[in-house]
Amino acid sequence: MFDLKLIESKIQYVAKDEQWLRQAFCHKSFQKENEDWVHNEKLEFLGDAVLDLVVSDLLMVRYADDQEGNLSRKRASIVNEDRLCELAKQREMEQFILVGDREANNNLRCNPRIIASTFEAVVGAIYRDSGYATVFDWVKDNFQPLIEEAFSEHDFEKDYKTRFQEWVQEEFKETPNYVVINQSGPDHSRVFEIEVFVNKQSWGVASGASKKMAAQNAAKQALEKIKR
């Protein structure tokens, strides 16, 4: 059920004490049915704090001349549910998440929020298992490509919605209108579909695990249209 060696090969980390990785991949629904396991929510809490610290450190080095406000916005653009879910999937973490039998049909392993939370829990597990220097190197290996790509291609100070809104206001003297056109999935794993309009014309349709995420994805589509 829990293949430690395979997990270690996927995440590129060898545990000193396997209890931490066992806990990192244990969803609370699994723990409820297996009392000898510990769920990952405390490690998620710890990993969230460790990620903020390590990424803040990396950003201060990479953007040495930035003020605190700019660094905060850049960190928020890197450390968020979308990015963490993306990084977790690159390591195929979602396939190792342990969920209870009663939740087996609810596609918890496909839930971006749960996948991102598992990534945070893994960070917490590595910190508990090996300390700050090791987790710093592991996080750096995972996030450095994002930081470099963003530095060369993206404006961290503005999110997609802000960038699109500024363009629309300059071009049309209007404000984009984001409309929820569909909702699906159970309450704990909702998927929202949002369409963005300018002057009643559709500029993009996208989905996400939250309205905010779906709107950002729709705005991203709109920006890609502008570039064509």
| CATH label of the domain that carries residue 200 | 3.30.160.20
Q: Among 127, 153, 179, where does a domain finish?
A: 153
Output the pLDDT for position 169: 86
Q: Tell me, yes or no, whether 117 and 198 share the same domain.
A: no
Domain count along the chain = 2
Confidence class of residue 175 from pLDDT cuts 50, 70 and 90? confident
Q: How far apart are CA 93 and CA 122, in angstroms?
A: 9
- Asked whether residue 123 carries a pLDDT value surpassing 60, the answer given is yes
pTM given for the model = 0.69
Q: How far apart are CA 146 and CA 87, in angstroms?
A: 10
Q: Tell me, yes or no, whether 142 and 35 share the same domain.
A: yes
Q: How far apart are CA 221 and CA 216, in angstroms?
A: 9
Q: How far apart are CA 90 and CA 2, in angstroms?
A: 19
Q: Tell me, yes or no, whether 91 and 181 share the same domain.
A: no
- CA-wise closest residue to 39 among 60, 23, 63, 18: 23
Q: Among 118, 136, 153, where does a domain finish?
A: 153
Query: What residue numbers bound the domain in which 145 lies?
Result: 4-153
Both tokens of residue 58?
């990396």
Q: How far apart are CA 44 and CA 119, in angstroms?
A: 8
Q: Among 123, 153, 183, where does a domain finish?
A: 153
Q: Tell me, yes or no, whether 36 and 62 share the same domain.
A: yes
Output the pLDDT for position 213: 86
Q: What is the CATH number of the domain that holds 90?
A: 1.10.1520.10
Q: Tell me, yes or no, whether 148 and 193 share the same domain.
A: no
Q: Which of 44, 48, 94, 103 is catalytic?
A: 48
Q: What is the pLDDT of residues 45-71, one digit of tens each?
A: 999 999 999 999 999 998 888 888 878
R_g of the chain, CA atoms, integer Å: 19
- 224 annotated active-site: no
The one-letter amino acid code at 100 reads G
Q: Tell me, yes or no, whether 199 and 111 share the same domain.
A: no
Q: Which of 120, 129, 159, 195 is catalytic?
A: 120
Q: Tell me, yes or no, whether 99 and 210 share the same domain.
A: no
- Asked whether residue 153 carries a pLDDT value surpassing 50, the answer given is no
Inter-axis angle of helices 132-153 and 112-130, to 10 degrees?
A: 140
In the chain, which ranges are E strands?
A: 177-184, 191-198, 201-208
- Count the residues in the chain: 228
- CA-wise closest residue to 50 among 127, 118, 119, 115: 127
Q: Tell me, yes or no, whether 120 and 186 share the same domain.
A: no
Output the pLDDT for position 158: 55
Q: Tell me, yes or no, whether 82 and 195 share the same domain.
A: no
Q: Tell me, yes or no, whether 199 and 146 share the same domain.
A: no
Q: Tell me, yes or no, whether 90 and 182 share the same domain.
A: no
- 52 annotated active-site: no
Q: Tell me, yes or no, whether 132 and 208 share the same domain.
A: no
